[in-house]
Structure 1
Amino acid sequence: MTGSHRPARRPSFGIMTPPSQVGYADLLRVWREADGVPQIEHAWLFDHLMPLGGDPNGPTFEAWTLLSALAARTERLRFGVMVTSNRFRPPAVLAKIAATVDVVSGGRLEFGIGAGSRTDVSWARREYDAHGLPYHDAAHAVGALAEACALIRRLWTATEPFDFPGDHYRLAGAFCAPKPVQRPHPPLVIGGQATRTLRVVAEHADRWNMPGGSIDHAIEVSARLDRLCAEIGRNPAEITRSIVLPVSYDRPDDTRQAVREALDGGFDHIVLGLSAPYPAGVARWVADTFTDTSNPAPRSPR
């Protein structure tokens, strides 16, 4: 297994806490603890409106509302939604939401976005039906994602209102104020692995996130992204490679091996997915266990 020819970056480590089947107090506890652990540089939520597992009628928080609350209670962490479904919110409204969160946090937002869940998956269909969200095929979803990325970036940077006569979105007198704190705008993190989505990544992303799967497959997809960048004349080294790796509390050596393989494969933005219930001191345990895999692994946190 070999990585890309891209120059190595200093790796950064973060956590993901799915805001489902868990209480706000527990999420806040983990984020505030992580905020005080320097090895953990970023934290993430996912964007679903109903549970993906467990009790189908259990709690799931709306990601951006929760993100704003967590932003106000942390000081150092960069953070975002990995990744926002472009199917759930009109992009001009999403641009306003994201700008608000960046202001609340003092400029720490990483703006994650993707085409959204496939509607042929049973839990996705339930989520859409329960919220009156329209179905569209993959081609429509990816075309809308490309327009949304261009539109959101323009809303964050335009100094005057503008019209946007897109194929998927049509706006008149569009404008976003206040602007995000970060200039020219928060980093765009686009998730996905289908080739048509990777074309959007190549054009618009500052960071690409591989949502999961085997490391070997992730490396193959990353190489495909390199080729798509070359097709449009973009340097693939401009796009940081990010991957979500699930954490095993009971078999941490398995996760440590996955981290080593991901780093060797050119992924230098590591998002460690935590499952609820969160053990006491989990953020410190994550930092001690996974951010330096050359040291002996601490015991399970449970």
Structure 2
Amino acid sequence: MPHTPRPRFGIMTAPMQVDYHDVLRVWREADTIPEIEHAWLFDHLMPIGGDPDGPAFEGWTLLSALAAQTRRLRLGVMVTSNRFRPPAMLAKIATTVDIVSGGRLDLGIGVGSRPHPPAAHREYAAHGLPFHDTAQAVGSLAEACTVIRRLWTEDKPFDFHGTHHQLTGAFGNPKPVQRPHPPILIGGRSSATLRIVAEHADLWNIPGGDIDDVVRRSALLDRYCTEIGRDPAAITRSIHLSVSSDRPSTTRNAIAEALDAGFPHIVLGLPAPYPTEVARWVADELINGGHPRR
């Protein structure tokens, strides 16, 4: 029988419409709860929900602060928009966070904002960032994964002459704590992105909601892995599930479906504002199935 990885549960605190100290409180609490093994932020520069003029924190800066304030949680940005930062700069930022955290980073990365929600598009013009077409963005992501891995692992400076990225004398020093490098999580569901996942990812994340579509996308990823001679089981399947605070049974059912579909890496998106002891509630009501462990 094939080996089934044990479930690993985490939380997502989208850093919008909240205060820094609210996020810090939740992460510090989660860091003390063994059932919660990982924690995530997102990568938007302006809110994509609620008050469009409300607060939104830059993900990687906040992640570094939270890395310094926690000791156990694996952590990351789900997922970094490859449209925001040149890949060599992102490699340097991620290395810094891996060192600050003592080797707990998972690098989450993706193509960047899709057409939906429309609110996600305004942040590009508002920050003077170009928004290229999808084909260019997908090609850029593939090159970015190559550049980042090389900067993390190669001992000599190198040049890179890609279609979308050109580097001269590229070199990463210091190296990340994790060897050969931090795990790479790629998020997305399009067939073009899944081909990049097959080649580059250690983990693949997809938003939940339509479990049948999730299963189909996972089967497509299996096929792409087989085509390039990679074992599909080498890529951990990860899913983001939105938490229903007032209907925990709905979230528990979604967790059960995801586990049955072969997605052992579960990211539970917490709605803001965050109640007191929300991380303990997640462990008791969602992870332990309503049977608290004290």
Query: TM (normalized to structure 2)?
Result: 0.97
Tell me the residue number matched to 2:93: 97
Question: Structure 2 unaligned runs (5+)?
Answer: none
Two-structure CA RMSD over aligned residues (Å): 1.4
* Equivalent pair of 2:113/2:121 in contact (CA under 8 Å): no
- Aligned amino acid, residue 144 of structure 1: S
For residue 6 of structure 1, report the CA deviation from its aligned partner: 5.7
Equivalent in 59, 65, 77 of residue 69 of structure 1: 65
Q: Is residue 2:124 matched to residue 1:128?
A: yes
CA deviation vs aligned residue, 1:8-40 (integer Å, no higher than 9, x gap): 101100000000000000000000000000000
- Alpha-carbon distance in 2 for matches of 1:121, 1:279: 26
Partners of 1:164 and 1:232 lie apart in 2 by 23
* Letter matched to residue 292 of structure 1: N
1:287 aligns with 2:276: no
Match of 2:141 in 1: 145
Gap change, CA 1:111 and 1:204, over 3 Å in 2 = same
User: Structure 2: which amino acid aligns with 1:87?
Assistant: R
Is 2:271 aligned against 1:275? yes
Q: Map of 1:23-102 to 2, 5 A cutoff?
A: 23-102=19-98
CA distance in 2, matches of 1:271, 1:9: 15
Return closer, same or farther for 1:86/1:6 CA change in 2, 3 Å cut-off: farther
- Equivalent residues in 2 for 1:6-25 (5 A)? 7-25=3-21
- 1:297: Cα distance to partner? 7.9
Does the 8 Å contact 2:79/2:109 carry over to 1? yes
Is 1:185 the counterpart of 2:181? The answer is yes
Aligned partners of 1:15 and 1:44 also within 8 Å = yes
**TM-score (normalised: structure 1):** 0.95
**Residue in structure 2 matched with residue 196 of structure 1 by the alignment:** 192
Matched residues, number? 293
| Distance in structure 2 (CA, Å) of the matches to 1:6 and 1:83 | 29
Rounded Cα–Cα distance in structure 2 between residues aligned with 1:29 and 1:6: 39
Provide the residue aligned with 1:154 in structure 2.
150
SS in 2 for 1:61: coil
2:210 to 208, 214, 228: 214
Q: What is the aligned partner in structure 1 of residue 257 from structure 2?
A: 261
Q: Distance in 2 between matches of 1:8 and 1:33?
A: 29
1:238-273, CA deviations, whole angstroms, 9 ceiling, x for partnerless residues?
000000001111000000000000000000000000
Structure 1 residue 7 displacement after superposition: 3.1
Percent identity among equivalent residues?
A: 69
1:238 aligns to 2:221 (yes or no): no
